[in-house]
Every structure is written in structure tokens, then in C-alpha cells.
Amino acid sequence: MAAGTATPLLLLLSVLCFVGASRAANVTYDHRAVVIDGVRRVVVSGSIHYPRSTPDMWPGLIQKAKDGGLDVIETYVFWDIHEPYDFEGRKDLVRFVKAVANAGLYVHLRIGPYVCAEWNYGGFPVWLHFVPGIKFRTDNAAFKAEMQRFTEKVVDTMKGAGLYASQGGPIILSQIENEYGNVDSSYGAAGKAYMRWAAGMAVSLDTGVPWVMCQQSDAPDPLINTCNGFYCDQFTPNSKSKPKMWTENWSGWFLSFGGAVPYRPTEDLAFAVARFYQRGGTFQNYYMYHGGTNFGRSTGGPFIATSYDYDAPIDEYGMVRQPKWGHLRDVHKAIKLCEPALVAAEPSYSSLGQNTEATVYQAPSVCAAFLANIDAQSDKTVKFNGNMYKLPAWSVSILPDCKNVVLNTAQINSQVTTSEMRSLRSSTQDSDDSSITPELATAGWSYAIEPVGITKENALTRPGLMEQINTTADASDFLWYSTSIIVKGDEPYLNGSQSNLLINSLGHVLQVYINGKLAGSAKGSASSSLISLQTPVTLVPGKNKLDLLSTTVGLANYGAFFDLVGAGVTGPVKLSGPNGALDLSSTDWTYQIGLRGEDLHLYNPSEVSPEWVSDKAYPTNQPLIWYKTKFTAPAGDDPVAIDFTGMGKGEAWVNGQSIGRYWPTNLAPQSGCVNSCNYRGSYSSNKCLKKCGQPSQTLYHVPRSFLQPGSNDLVLFEQFGGDPRLISFTTRQTNSICAHISEMHPAQIDSWITPQQNAQRPGPSLRLECPREGQVISNIKFASFGTPSGTCGNYNHGECSSSQALAVVQEACVGMSNCSVSLSSKNFGNPCSGVTKSLVVEAACS
């Protein structure tokens, strides 16, 4: 069957299932779409990164993605975690791809191997930096040899497991390089030569599926150049023979330590998706669909937070985020209803007036239309095909039959879910404290002191200051710089016993110790990691010890030559007083890579160490302390997190597995947040922010698979100083489910049957569904039909309200796992004529 002539039945059968394992599939493309076994496909994809969750979570995440209307799971391949050859646990890429296949979905494998992704060093292993003669991402023999070696390793691993579609597997696309077009001008002609080499190398690997290059407008044939961004409806491929593809639709934005929490309104994301398909796109991927967690030291940036939630449709803990997940599911259903027309016809565009546009896909037997209002302020009423349609500002209406509106992106039929991470006790205190709940009783806290300065025999001494990454090779976040000063008392840099100490550092965090005592500290930020610390210090006659602890918070991951961005104390380091200064930059410095506790594996509870001290009078609010305790895992299967309020900055391990860096004392700026973000108008990463003036992150995910029955171990390394008694375990709890539907909303999308039967299609209705299997709606907290106002958890009756609303909703919903209530006068009467009425409901499930 020729591309574009598939019957609706065949398309319906192929929407969510691939021909896996039974036979090979032929994947190609034409100017309209990816073509699988001769059939053009309209594809919805979403990014889930395998190392940002756990193998136990993968099947549930993938199933939620499928239930949300996705056809494809997209993931990067993270070079640094697989070298040397390591594909175990969260690194088990083969297992992840097979899990996607088992759910009946396809895979887009973005090999890179540069990935950006707010991942440490952009996904490159740091040892690559030390290969003689190497220059990253340019026409350099050493780099190309290593890149090809790893790319071949990944391809061979996938082929060995039979995972390419050409072998009967789920992988239908692969990507080489990543957003290189954003920076290639900095590399000149050598950059262009490298890009062409990378394309040719990829094609030569004979995967049997197409390759793409994102953000590469001059990607050579046969590679498909694709778009990344908040909007890609205006994107055009570089050849009339290539389809319009969107590899990264940013569903939110990443969080930085010291930054406010970004989010993207559901209506705007839905608008961007619908506009892309309206304007001829046929492959769209959410970056991210599930963001997950940056475990261990995997964050990039620097200063990327441990949470990589990304305001994605599935949240960090693996729970669907409503209404975003549900509304996008409805958008996907609407797009799929249009698929027969989208793959059979070319788009035809026409203006319906100022800032309004109609796009029609008309074939002999099918027709689909999109009506868009791109005005950021005003609603519009337009005439199309002889009928009048109301278009809210910044919205798209989808008409699968060119007549009836099945969905408008600004009108959400999906429910809202409010939830919280609920503390299971007030604090983690000693086991004889009666305030502790039995399920989380600890055995008390042990501690170990991390010594200040040089303690290792393998420390090295060199004249001058050494850049940190070149010294540590990122084996640890920490590098000690140590020197000493002999003071007689009459030095020109002294004012009595006082002097001013100036230290310049490339970042990211700096602590200064004079004679073993903390004398000052400073930190950079996501916008600038540079540090210039000035602090008064007191020196004593004789020998004075100066110890500087420099700390990285993830290595740079983006930009031209990002691999050369340094860290650590590069000077000057000066003491100054009223009569002169002493520059210590060129003196002899002794260097120690990492902490003594790291070498002793204090984070590993299976290794016994005499360093640990068990004493109820353990130190608190002091820097450089290791803490250890035992706890019993929270009962049930609700997601678990630790609230680190009360601690400063450090890293935490549960049963020897790092849950990441914590930093609850790093606060977002006081300004820049909004109480309610208007979805209308173009979105940017700083448009919609929350939690200004608050810690960027206090809650840190502990996957259930990290926990074990009975006793569990929690180890902390606290760098700044804190009180571990103040931390608490929390579990994810749903408070309410809510919905708000007006008489202007289209009917629920599942009521769409065929164009011929839509004349009898019911009107709008409100639907509620408990989020967990086995739950039923136990209570209606609020119900109002008329002109209600407010948001979920804070609804109010308006000037008019039906007296029947609560009783009607209670009868339809209480005791049910899900329910539907029609917005009809039969149910509610007409409490106020001449106005558009709405039904709002807030309910509880148990």
C-alpha cells in the first residue's frame, strides 16, 4: 500500500502496537511523515531517561505513557555511565528498551553521544578530556575515534539484542550528535567537517532505521534535521523530502539550586502541540514526559538540582500530573482522530481574520481541520465552512470531520489532582524519644568527623594554584588546597593580628579554614559560578595553616567548548593590610583529592569503620560531619522522599545508594514569581516561577527499590552544618480530585464515535477518577453549578448556584472509582439565565 493511502482501520490497528519480535519492520520517511511498513504515521513521543528512574519504576512509567497516548519513548544514551562496559541496574539500556517493547511502544534512541540533558559534563566521561591531543566535537582524530568506538558499541549492543525495527525490535529512529547547530559556528570549518563526518559515520552503521540530527539546519541527506524548543510550528525541514519533526517540546524547565521552581501551563503546552500538527508536523516528542531524579553526582550545569521533575506529565515520583497528563491525553486522542486525513493530504491554510487561521487536510474520503487563535489577549468568533466557532485566546480547536469541535486546547476536560508529600513524623530523633512513630524509629545517630585539610598520604605538592577538574578528573566533588604562612607580627599585610583575605575561584563552592577553624565561605550560582571571597582573618605568631575546600556542583554540560570550563581556586589568593599585601598564588600548595570519608567508604553501611562514634551528644550545626542512622521504611507503596529541612548542604545515601546532593539552604531570589501564570502568550523558562524566597529543593526522592524490609541505613555527609534530628520522611498523598467544566466545553473526547453520529453527541460533562486502583470516591467536598470561582481546594459559590448540585454529584459519584456528571438543565435546572454556567467539584478518594 502506498504511503498516505492507508485505510482508517489499518491506521487504528497500528496506532499503539508495533510488529515486535514477530518480523522486521521497514522504517523510512517521506516529506510528510515517518513511514512504517509503507504506512505514514502521525507519532506522539515522550522522553523518559532510564538512569533517572529505577528498573522497578520503568514498566509503570512506560504504561502511564502509553495510557497517555504516546506511541514512542525517547531516551538519550549516557556515555559516562556505560564506561567501562556497564549496563547493569539503572544503566541497563537493553532492559529499558525491552520494557518499552513489552508495552507495545516504539523507541527513539538518541545516541549522541553528547547529550547535554543537564547531565554531568554533557554525558561525556571525564577521562575523555585527558586523551592526548583531543579536542571535543570538532574535526579531531582522537575525539572522532572515541566517539565512533562508543557509538558502535551502543549500536552493536542493540543489534545483539535484536532491538532495531529492522530486526523486529522497537527502535525506529536514532539520533547522532545533539543541538550541534546551536554552537557549530564557534568551531568554524572544522566543525562543519565534523558534523558531516558524524552523519556519515552514523549511516555506515547500517541500523536499518533513519537517523536524525536535532537543531542542525544543514544536516546532510539522508539525516532528518529536527526542531527543539517551546514552539516548533514555524519550523521547516531543510529538504522537501523530509518530514517535519519536533524532538524536544519542553514540557517545563529544569530546576537549579538557588533558582525558583519553573512550570509550564497545561493550556500553553497543549496549544504548542496542536499548532505543530496543524502546521504540518507529524512527529512530536515531549522533553520530558517523565523527568525523574538526578541520583548521585549526575547533575550538570553546574548547580542543577537533584530533582529533574521538569513539570512533566508524569512527575518525579512516577505519578501522573493532573490536569497536564489528562489534557494532553485528550489532545493526543484528538490528533489521532485526524490521522487518516493528516497522512493522506497536504495542509491548506487560510486566514479567518486577524490572528486567526484555519488549516484543512482534505482527501477524497476524509477531512480534518484546525482552527487557531494566536492572539494572546482576545477571544475570537470566526466563521468556517458556514458555521460559527468561538476560539479562546491562544488556543486551537480540532475538528476531525471539518465540522465538529472535539477539543479546544484552552478548555480542559481533565480533572485536577492536588497532592502533597506528607511528613510521617515531626523529626528523626533518638529512639528513646516518645514522639517517634514505631514504623520510623531509628537507632540514634552515629557521627564521624571529616578532618580539615590534608590527611592522605597520596597528597601532592606543587608551586602555584591548580585548576580543579584537571586535578581531580571529577573523581570527587572536593579538592583541598593547603599552604602555610609564617607570621612574625610586623608584616605589612597585618593590622595587629588581622588581615583581609581575598580569594578568586572559578567555583562552585568555597570554604576557608584558618588553623582548622572555618573563617568564611562563598558560592557561585547557575548564572555565574565565579567566586570572589573577601573575609577578615585572624593570624597568630608563628605558623598559620590555610586550608581551602573547593567543591563542584556538577560540571558544565552546554555551550561551545563547555568541556574546557574550569573550576576551583585559580587565584589570586592574597592577604592584605594597611601597609601592603602578600600574594600566595605562586607559593607551594598541597592538594588532596576528595574526602577521607570517601576513601573509607563511610557511605557504605556494609563496610565497618572505626571512624563512627555513637554518642547521644553528637555535634550539630558544624561543618564537615558524617552522620549515620537506621530506619524502617514507610509502610505501603506510596512514593517516599526525605525532607532535608534543617540541614545545610551535602549528599545522602540510602543503603549505600546515593539519592543525590541536597542543599535546602540555597534559596531562590525573593522576586520573579507569579501567583497565577497566564497561559496566553509565548512561554519562556522564566515566565512562570514559584517558591521565590524559599529553598529550591527540600524534598529528595528515595525510590522504593532502594529500600528493604526491616532495617535500612541512612548516611549523610554534611558540608555546611545542620541538625539531622530535623529531617523527616514523607510519602506522597492525594488530597483532592477536582474538575471545572463549563457549558462552552466540548463533550468528553471519548464520546466521539463517527462524524455521522456526532449530531447526537452529548454535551459537556464532568468526569472524576480516583488516582489509585482500588480507591473509590468517598466524599464530595464541594460542588457548585452556576458561576463558581476559585481553584481546587479553594472553590467558592458564585452569585448564582444550583441548590441541587451537591446532591446530584453525590448520587453519581460517591462509592464509585470514577463517575461522569452531565452539565444539563435536567440535572441542575437553570439557576441563572443568560450567562455561561460551570460545574466545579472537589472530591476525596479512599
Strands (E), 90-223: 106-112, 171-176, 211-214
Could you tell me the pLDDT band of residue 31, with boundaries at 50, 70 and 90? very high
The pLDDT score that the predictor gives to residue 15 is 38
Within 13 A of 332's CA, how many CA atoms are on the CB side? 24
For the chain, the C-alpha Rg in angstroms (whole number) is: 29
**How many angstroms separate the CA atoms of 769 and 772, rounded?**
9
Q: Between residues 18 and 808, which one has the greater pLDDT? A: 808
Which one of 213-222, 430-439, 751-760 scores highest in mean pLDDT? 213-222
The pLDDT score that the predictor gives to residue 760 is 62
The region that residue 571 occupies, defined by phi over 0 for left and psi between -120 and 50 for alpha, beta otherwise, is: left
Could you tell me the pLDDT band of residue 641, with boundaries at 50, 70 and 90? very high
Q: Following DSSP, what letter does each residue of 154-165 receive, concatenated? A: HHHHHHHTT-BG
Cβ count near 519 (within 10 Å): 17
**How many angstroms separate the CA atoms of 227 and 655, rounded?**
42
Find the range with the poorest average confidence among 419-428, 581-590, 653-662: 419-428
Could you tell me the pLDDT band of residue 104, with boundaries at 50, 70 and 90? very high
The pLDDT score that the predictor gives to residue 431 is 40
The pLDDT score that the predictor gives to residue 85 is 87
The pLDDT score that the predictor gives to residue 424 is 86
3-state class (DSSP) for residue 246: strand
The pLDDT score that the predictor gives to residue 41 is 98
Using the predicted structure, report yes or no on whether residue 10 has a pLDDT greater than 60.
no
| Average pLDDT of span 148-175 | 98
**How many angstroms separate the CA atoms of 748 and 412, rounded?**
10
Could you tell me the pLDDT band of residue 36, with boundaries at 50, 70 and 90? very high
**52 closest CA partner among 106, 89, 107:** 89
3-state class (DSSP) for residue 189: helix
Using the predicted structure, report yes or no on whether residue 481 has a pLDDT greater than 50.
yes
Find the range with the poorest average confidence among 6-15, 111-120, 165-174, 657-666: 6-15
The pLDDT score that the predictor gives to residue 758 is 54
Q: Which three cell numbers stand for residue 489?
A: 607580627
Could you tell me the pLDDT band of residue 23, with boundaries at 50, 70 and 90? confident
The pLDDT score that the predictor gives to residue 132 is 98
Residues 571, 532: contact at Cβ < 8 Å?
Answer: no
Torsion of CA 533, 535, 539, 544, to 10 degrees: -20
Q: Catalytic site residue 179?
A: yes
The pLDDT score that the predictor gives to residue 429 is 41
**332-382 per-position pLDDT tens digit:** 999 999 999 999 999 999 999 999 999 999 999 999 999 999 999 999 999
| Average pLDDT of span 112-134 | 98
- Give the distance, in angstroms, between the CA of residue 601 and the centroid of all CA atoms in the same chain: 30
Tell me the CA distances in angstroms from 249 to 252, 296, 337, one per residue in order: 9, 27, 21
Within 13 A of 435's CA, how many CA atoms are on the CB side? 10
Helix (H) or strand (E) holding 462: strand 460-463
**805-831 per-position pLDDT tens digit:** 999 999 999 999 999 999 999 999 999
* Domain 27-341 class in CATH: alpha beta
Cβ count near 313 (within 10 Å): 29
Residue 690: strand pairing partners: 261
Q: Which three cell numbers stand for residue 51?
A: 538512569
Helix (H) or strand (E) holding 67: helix 58-67
Close Cβ partners of 785 (under 8 Å, ≥ 6 residues apart): 801, 802, 804, 805, 808, 823, 827, 828, 831, 837, 838, 839
**Which one of 248, 339, 357, 651 is the catalytic residue?**
248
**How many angstroms separate the CA atoms of 216 and 707, rounded?**
44
**742-783 per-position pLDDT tens digit:** 999 999 999 887 655 555 678 899 999 999 999 999 999 999
**Which one of 179, 357, 450, 651 is the catalytic residue?**
179
**How many angstroms separate the CA atoms of 215 and 226, rounded?**
6
**443 closest CA partner among 199, 659, 724:** 724
Amino acid at 645: T
**778-801 per-position pLDDT tens digit:** 999 999 999 999 999 999 999 999
Amino acid at 130: F
Using the predicted structure, report yes or no on whether residue 180 has a pLDDT greater than 80.
yes
Superfamily for 762-845? Rhamnose-binding lectin domain (RBL) (2.60.120.740)
The pLDDT score that the predictor gives to residue 718 is 98
Report the topology of domain 418-450+599-677+687-732. Jelly Rolls (2.60.120)
3-state class (DSSP) for residue 183: coil
Residues 121, 557: contact at Cβ < 8 Å?
Answer: yes
Using the predicted structure, report yes or no on whether residue 427 has a pLDDT greater than 60.
no
The pLDDT score that the predictor gives to residue 743 is 95
**274 class by beta-carbon count within 10 Å (0-12 exposed, 13-18 middle, 19+ buried):** buried
What letter does residue 541 receive in the DSSP assignment? S
Tell me the CA distances in angstroms from 266 to 312, 409, 410, 810, one per residue in order: 10, 9, 8, 28
Could you tell me the pLDDT band of residue 441, with boundaries at 50, 70 and 90? very low
Q: Which three cell numbers stand for residue 230?
A: 517551546
**310-343 per-position pLDDT tens digit:** 999 999 999 999 999 999 999 999 999 999 999 9
Strands (E), 319-445: 347-353, 356-362, 367-373, 380-384, 387-391, 395-399, 407-408, 416-423
pLDDT > 90: what percent of the chain? 92
The pLDDT score that the predictor gives to residue 762 is 81
The region that residue 596 occupies, defined by phi over 0 for left and psi between -120 and 50 for alpha, beta otherwise, is: alpha
Alpha helices by DSSP H, 279-414? 324-344
**How many angstroms separate the CA atoms of 403 and 337, rounded?**
13
Tell me the CA distances in angstroms from 665 to 230, 296, 449, one per residue in order: 31, 19, 21
Residues 771, 319: contact at Cβ < 8 Å?
Answer: yes
Using the predicted structure, report yes or no on whether residue 19 has a pLDDT greater than 60.
no
**565-615 per-position pLDDT tens digit:** 999 999 999 999 999 999 999 999 999 999 999 999 999 999 999 999 998
* Domain 460-594 class in CATH: mainly beta
Using the predicted structure, report yes or no on whether residue 18 has a pLDDT greater than 60.
no
Helix (H) or strand (E) holding 145: helix 141-160
Residue 265: strand pairing partners: none
Using the predicted structure, report yes or no on whether residue 419 has a pLDDT greater than 90.
yes
**How many angstroms separate the CA atoms of 163 and 20, rounded?**
9
Tell me the CA distances in angstroms from 395 to 79, 267, 379, 681, one per residue in order: 40, 8, 9, 10
**274-317 per-position pLDDT tens digit:** 999 999 999 999 999 999 999 999 999 999 999 999 999 999 99
